[in-house]
Amino acid sequence: MPASRLRLIMRRKPMLIAIVIVAALFGMLFGFDQGVISGALPFIKQDFTVTAFMEGVITSAVPLGAVAGTLLAMVTTDRYGRKPMLILGAVIFLVGSLISAFAFNQYVLTLARLLIGVGIGASAMTAPMFLAEVAPARIRGTIVSAFQLMITIGIMISYMSDAAFGGSGDWRWMIGVGVFPSIIALVGILLSPETPRWLTLNSNADKARDIIVKLQPESSDAEVDQIIAEIKESAKDEEAAPAWSTFLKKGILPVTSFAMIVFVLQQLSGINAIIYYAPEIFKNAGFSGTTTDLLATVGIGVVNVALTVVAMYLVESMGRRKLLIMGFFGTAASMALVTVATMMDIAATPYLAMIGIFAFIAFFAVSLGPLPWLYMSELFPLRLRPRGMALASIANWFFNFIVALLFPELLAGIGIVGTFAIFTGFCVIGIFYAIAVAPETKGVTLEEIEQRTVAAD
Ligand code: BGC
């Protein structure tokens, strides 16, 4: 989308912009709490004698808690609405961050991180849903990608917080900084409306109408009527919460499996091995010195943000499918470069590995990062959306958990070459998978996508 159009939207739709910022703030919290552990761990290890296994447990507590948070959101968003779940998510972030910052041993810290994980899982599912449901179709891709952008900004801020407090070794402050965005997110969501789609679905079409008018002030009465009619139409087929077996039905199964597998491949690409353990990877590749490691890590955070901005344009111009295929090609080539460079073990190895890692982050951020979130918020029919998105999110978090837990063991067991060769293999599988099944959803309304799915049933 050209910058001039973005400016026009900002002028004409202040309420939409405010809501997008609030919902996207949840992405920032998510990124912050994911990223902050990489720089904090070395100091936590000095305070509490932490074994290698416990290191994996403390790190992976967040994605494990997120699996539970996703299940919680699945029940709550459907029954009580998107907004109450986000309020609860913000409260959990706040409490979890406070407990982590004051944790007096590694077990309290692990429990607090589990709790934060619940908040992350719940809001990582609800916030994209919230965004997809308030966004007009033609800018939906950009708006939902704003969520991914905020995740990457959160990760970058956490790396900066790590670097800032790295000198004094104060891990409590590194983590405690998360309290401030939690408070902003809480106040923001309290002031936001419920989504028009959820309201319509819950017999409150009048209120939904008022909100659509505020969100899209340029729409004519007829256009607003049309939006409401389409929502009602898409909700007609199934009145009750769908049975789980619905996800296995002929027309839905391809959507269910695609939404889940694309997340599994996202995680098995190795992204979070880098996000959680970047300083350790740089050490393994031959770099020495904490300053280099921390600076390189901040560099990863910056590249991740910059290329996610590029993705926000490309999802609408290039489209989802082409971008996904390109992303898998790029991440496979970059991971292969890291693998080969570390295998050769020559003077240039650390630099080649560094180039490979930065290229990997760039290709991930422009494609594999935002696309699974976007797909999962677009592909499921309305009635199936909460449960469908829950299934996709669980796949995401579970494999995130597995990578976080096993990466230190893999590194110690089969070494950096073997570990990165495995990640390369999964990126290559991703190329074939994306070519075979990735759909195109650019510029199509959620209701039209739904009709396509139903027609295939
Ligand atoms: C992934 C996260 C990852 C992040 C990195 C997200 O799309 O789901 O697991 O840490 O991207 O930017």
Nearest CA to ligand 1 atom 12: 152
456: confidence class by pLDDT, cuts 50, 70, 90: low
Among 129-143, 203-217, 400-414, which range has the highest average pLDDT? 400-414
Q: At what angle do helices 140-166 and 370-379 cross, to 10 degrees?
A: 140
Q: Are 57 and 180 in contact (CB under 8 A)?
A: no
Give the number of other Cβ atoms within 10 Å of residue 105's Cβ: 9
Question: Can you read off the two tokens belonging to residue 172?
Answer: 């409590």
Minimum mean pLDDT among 250-259, 288-297, 304-313, 328-337: which range?
288-297
Q: In angstroms, what CA-CA distances link 105 with 38, 46, 119, 418?
A: 18, 12, 22, 34
Q: Are 293 and 279 in contact (CB under 8 A)?
A: yes
Mean pLDDT of the chain: 85
Q: What is the DSSP-derived secondary structure letter of residue 193? A: P
Query: Which of the two residues, 398 and 316, has the higher pLDDT score?
Result: 398
How far apart (Å, rounded) are the C-alpha atoms in residues 377 and 177?
Answer: 30
Q: For residue 451, what pLDDT is reported?
A: 67
Average pLDDT rounded to a whole number, residues 104-118: 94
208: confidence class by pLDDT, cuts 50, 70, 90: confident
Nearest CA to ligand 1 atom 11: 369
Best CA proximity match to 366, nearest among 334, 398, 402, 403? 334
1: confidence class by pLDDT, cuts 50, 70, 90: very low
For the CA of 308, the nearest atom of ligand 1: 12
Best residue for ligand 1 mutational test, from 152, 271, 423 (most atoms within 8 Å of Cβ): 271
How far apart (Å, rounded) are the C-alpha atoms in residues 115 and 106?
Answer: 14
The pLDDT tens digits for 330-347 are: 999 999 999 998 888 887
Q: For residue 39, what pLDDT is reported?
A: 81
In the predicted structure, residue 455 carries a pLDDT above the cut 60: no
Q: Are 139 and 9 in contact (CB under 8 A)?
A: yes
- pTM for this one? 0.82
Nearest CA to ligand 1 atom 1: 369
Please give the distance, rounded to the nearest whole angstrom, from the Cα atom of residue 328 to the centre of ligand 1. 15
Among 17-26, 220-229, 402-411, which range has the highest average pLDDT? 402-411
How far apart (Å, rounded) are the C-alpha atoms in residues 454 and 242?
Answer: 14
Give the number of other Cβ atoms within 10 Å of residue 443's Cβ: 13
Give the number of other Cβ atoms within 10 Å of residue 268's Cβ: 21
Q: Are 277 and 38 in contact (CB under 8 A)?
A: yes
Instruction: Determine if ligand 1 sits within 6 Å of the CB of residue 369.
Output: yes
Minimum mean pLDDT among 120-129, 242-251, 296-305, 321-330: which range?
242-251
Average pLDDT rounded to a whole number, residues 133-151: 77
Q: For residue 365, what pLDDT is reported?
A: 95
Instruction: Determine if ligand 1 sits within 6 Å of the CB of residue 38.
Output: no
Q: For residue 111, what pLDDT is reported?
A: 95
How far apart (Å, rounded) are the C-alpha atoms in residues 423 and 267?
Answer: 9
| Three-state DSSP class for residue 251 | coil
User: Looking up tokens 């996800």, which residue turns up?
Assistant: 247
Question: Can you read off the two tokens belonging to residue 378?
Answer: 């677009």
For the CA of 148, the nearest atom of ligand 1: 7
Minimum mean pLDDT among 229-238, 314-323, 438-447: which range?
229-238
